[in-house]
Chain A
Amino acid sequence: MLDLLPQWMRDGIGDDVAFWIGYFTNGKHLAWYASVQFTLFAGLFGACVALALGLLAAAARNGGPWPVRFVAAGYINIVRGVPDVLFFLFFPLAFEQAVEWLWATQVCTPESIAANPNPWPPCIEANWRLSTVEYLIMASVSLGIVYGAFTANVISGALLAVPRGQLEAARAFGMSRMQVLWRVHVRQMWIYALPGLSNVWMLLVKATALLSLLQILDFVTLAQRLGAANYSAIAGLVHEDWRWRYYLVLLIFYILVTFVSEKAFAALNRRVRRGMPILDGNAA
């Protein structure tokens, strides 16, 4: 990318600076900067899944027949007891095996099963190739499932905080239970839910650092590859172990994301509380 600069500029900045500009804009570094897209995608898509599951689970836990409430409570409590790393590794593998097993029941003949010495999949036709895209989507979904449980807790609490009078008035007007839920209850709930949701978002964004565990060349992996000590001139610049510098950049990146998210949530909070007389310890 150094060659995008005009020659007079390159002469002006001197060889050393030019070298470093060239180094930090070489293809490997550009791929590193671009891999932020994986983190952002996983964060945003995971957040959508978490919100959807959280709403569903909270609604199921508060209203609905008892089997549904049981399942929702089970989901929320069990996921709180399991580390997100473990679920992150477990879900893509489990999902892949489940899909392959279903597929194998359709596609595998006894001969092909006998011909396959591998423990899994049962026969080679029932094999689902996973690449970066599939892993990324499954990673986002597994993040969504884990943080959906936390979101459900937050939303449950927020649903309970909505003044009862509003719901009773809505029922008195003849709205059905579903109408009361979606038009009045959930709409009013956001004000109480936002602080908790901003916490869950922070946790989720930090969890996207784990994408490298699923063989995705994400922001963290490429930082490790770039910082790694290299003594092979043919592979690139020969340098000692520079990892801590690259990790520092990663840390600063995540702190920046946290900072921007905080500002965004504060703005969202202010907007949502327009005209509301509620006080929450801080001035309205």
Chain B
Amino acid sequence: MSFIAVILNEIQLLARPALLNIYFAAAAIPVGFVLAIFLALGKASHNRLITALSRGYIYFFRGSPFFIQLFAFYSFVLTLNMSVWRPLGIDWLILHPLFLGPAILTLNTTAYTAEILYGALATVPRGEVEAARAFGMTQAQRFRSIVWPHVIRIAWPAYTNEVVFLFHATALIYFTLPVIGGQQDLMNKAGELFERDYNVFLHYSVAALYFLAISLVIFYAFGLVYRHLMRHMPQAAPAKFSMRRFMT
């Protein structure tokens, strides 16, 4: 087989496994984002208990490796099977890797995203919030009109990075959870192909290419959203193409 044909064949073999990684990320991102908003607000709250709990949650999930979190939560959820999940009738769902993987990933990303949102919350201009209060806006109205637009714009670049990290973290899920029915994600499939012919350069490079390509797509898509969010700001002149861009 020619070089190009080999690479194309490899790309085709790894396509379905890549969908599994994308599924894990796509399942965790929206839920994580919504929960993170509540967690960030909790961390910034005036209630001592809620603040302490939020801080504790964020510290726990940011301070330990995701790899270990996967093992720990799977074991813990497993021991609760007979006593909790079975009686509730949801054991088929809870213990399924397609649910549990994104669930643990969500717990993890909630903490990181909440930290980012919390940092952005601190930069909201006080003056605007006070003015809104003076106008008689309720808390919900203040949040929707003043706080949230500011937070999302400040947090978006850091959040983009977090989403890319989350996508990379999906590579770890099938190292730790039991594999059902021979489903394989990118890492499993690349590993299996490697064990057949020891060509580490081919299989892992193409898997890396998938990760790189999807990361670039995430960067681009989130960049478009950022441009949309910042459309009210004075625009920089459209960049003209120049080789300089690749050299710095």
> Do A and B have CB atoms closer than 8 angstroms in the complex?
yes
Residues of A participating in the B interface, judged by any CB pair closer than 8 Å = 61, 66, 69-70, 73, 78, 80-87, 89-90, 93-94, 97, 119-120, 202, 206-207, 209-210, 213, 220, 224, 227, 241, 243-244, 247-248, 250-251, 254-255, 258-259
Q: Interface size class for chain B?
A: 35 or more
Set A206, A207, A210: member contacting B64, Cβ < 8 A: A206
Sort A-B residue pairs by CB-CB distance and give the 10 closest, nearest first.
A83-B168, A247-B72, A81-B212, A244-B75, A258-B63, A206-B65, A209-B65, A255-B63, A81-B215, A243-B75
- State the CA gap A277–B74 with chains docked (Å): 50
Question: Of B6-14, B37-45, B145-153, B199-207, which binds chain A?
Answer: B199-207
Contact B171 A86 (CB under 8 A): yes
Q: Is the contact region of chain B dominated by helix, strand, or loop, or is it mixed? A: helix
What residues on B are CB-neighbors of A241 within 8 Å? 75, 78-79
- State the CA gap A133–B68 with chains docked (Å): 23
B246 within 8 A of A: yes
What residues on B are CB-neighbors of A250 within 8 Å? 64, 68, 71-72
The distance from the CB of A104 to the nearest CB of chain B, in whole angstroms, is 14
B220 within 8 A of A: no
What residues on B are CB-neighbors of A244 within 8 Å? 72, 75-76, 78-79
Q: Is the contact region of chain A dominated by helix, strand, or loop, or is it mixed? A: helix
27 contacting pairs across A/B (C-beta < 8 A): A73-B246, A73-B247, A78-B212, A80-B164, A80-B215, A82-B212, A83-B171, A83-B172, A83-B211, A84-B168, A85-B168, A85-B175, A85-B187, A86-B208, A90-B205, A97-B201, A206-B66, A209-B68, A213-B175, A241-B78, A243-B71, A247-B68, A247-B71, A251-B60, A255-B60, A255-B63, A258-B64
What residues on A are CB-neighbors of B60 within 8 Å? 251, 255
CB closest chain-A residue, reference B169: A83
The distance from the CB of B138 to the nearest CB of chain A, in whole angstroms, is 30
Given contacts A94-B200, A120-B198, A241-B79, 10 further A-B contacts (CB under 8 A): A82-B212, A83-B172, A90-B208, A93-B194, A93-B204, A94-B201, A97-B201, A251-B69, A254-B65, A258-B64
What residues on A are CB-neighbors of B248 within 8 Å? 61, 69, 73
CB closest chain-B residue, reference A90: B204
The distance from the CB of B120 to the nearest CB of chain A, in whole angstroms, is 13
The distance from the CB of B126 to the nearest CB of chain A, in whole angstroms, is 14
Q: Which of B171-206 contact A (CB under 8 A)?
A: 171-172, 175, 187, 190-191, 194, 197-198, 200-201, 204-205
- State the CA gap A90–B209 with chains docked (Å): 13
What residues on A are CB-neighbors of B197 within 8 Å? 119
CB closest chain-A residue, reference B245: A73
Contact B65 A86 (CB under 8 A): no
- State the CA gap A202–B190 with chains docked (Å): 28
Beyond A81-B211, A94-B201, is A209–B72 a contact (Cβ under 8 Å)?
Answer: no
Q: Can you list, as one digit per residue, whether each of B55-88 has a CB less than 8 Å from chain A (1) or not (0)?
A: 0000110111111110110011011000000000
